[in-house]
Amino acid sequence: MSRLVAALLSSLVLAQAQAQAQAKDDPPIAGSTAVDVALVRVHDVAVGFSARKQIIGHYVVNEQGNAVGKVVDLIVAPDMSITYAIVGVGGLLGASRRQVAIAVDQFTRQNDSFMLPGATPELVKSLPAFAYAEP
């Protein structure tokens, strides 16, 4: 998952850099730059993930397919790489539920969920609680 997301973000950064370089070198021609960038971005979107539809809200499971949490957010580092998934764990119907941060390179995509090898509900709940940094 992290490789795919990193590739998607790298492609977007390269496309933006290419468009900016082209805009500086070429005289403005109505629509030419926008069309080229749009084609690159359409390709990137087609092969990438939608965080909202395909990652956030999906279960984190162990090798046996038992749910150990649910992805509630993603952390984007200053270099624009996705580094951690924030996983909601514990609680019944949201009561006493807390969040933990797990490095994205620990997950593997498994059908419609994310597999965390060796995970148990107790192990994931024992991780330090995650708190968002104040801006």
Helix (H, G, I), strand (E, B), or coil: what is residue 7?
A: helix
- According to DSSP, the β-strands at 113-115 and 82-89 are unpaired
pLDDT the model gives residue 66:
93
Statement to judge: residues 34 and 59 lie in one domain? no
Residues 24-39 have a mean pLDDT of 49
Task: Compute CA distances 24 → 15, 18, 19, 21, whole Å.
Answer: 14, 10, 9, 5
DSSP tag of 65: -
Statement to judge: residues 65 and 117 lie in one domain? yes
Statement to judge: residues 120 and 60 lie in one domain? yes
Statement to judge: residues 43 and 93 lie in one domain? no
Residues 15-30 have a mean pLDDT of 51
pLDDT the model gives residue 78:
92
pLDDT the model gives residue 32:
42
The answer to the question of residue 135 being in a domain is: no
SS3 string of 21-53?
HHHHHCCCCCCHHHHHHHHHHHHHHHHCCCHHH
CA atoms within 13 A on the CB side of 16: 6
For the chain, percent of residues with pLDDT exceeding 70: 61
Statement to judge: residues 80 and 116 lie in one domain? yes
Dist CA 60 CA 107 (whole Å): 8
Say if CB 85 and CB 107 are below 8 A apart: yes
Statement to judge: residues 31 and 69 lie in one domain? no
Q: What is the mean pLDDT of the chain?
A: 76
The DSSP result for 76-119, as a single string, is: E-TTS-EEEEEEEES-BTTBT-EEEEEEGGG-EEETTEEE-TT-
pLDDT the model gives residue 116:
95
Q: What is the CATH number of the domain that holds 60?
A: 2.30.30.240
pLDDT the model gives residue 42:
60
Statement to judge: residues 17 and 37 lie in one domain? yes
The answer to the question of residue 70 being in a domain is: yes
The answer to the question of residue 134 being in a domain is: no
Statement to judge: residues 79 and 63 lie in one domain? yes
The answer to the question of residue 25 being in a domain is: yes
Digit-coded pLDDT (tens) for 65-121:
999 999 999 999 999 889 999 999 987 665 678 999 999 999 999 888 999 999 998
Statement to judge: residues 42 and 61 lie in one domain? no
What residues make up the domain containing 12? Answer: 2-48
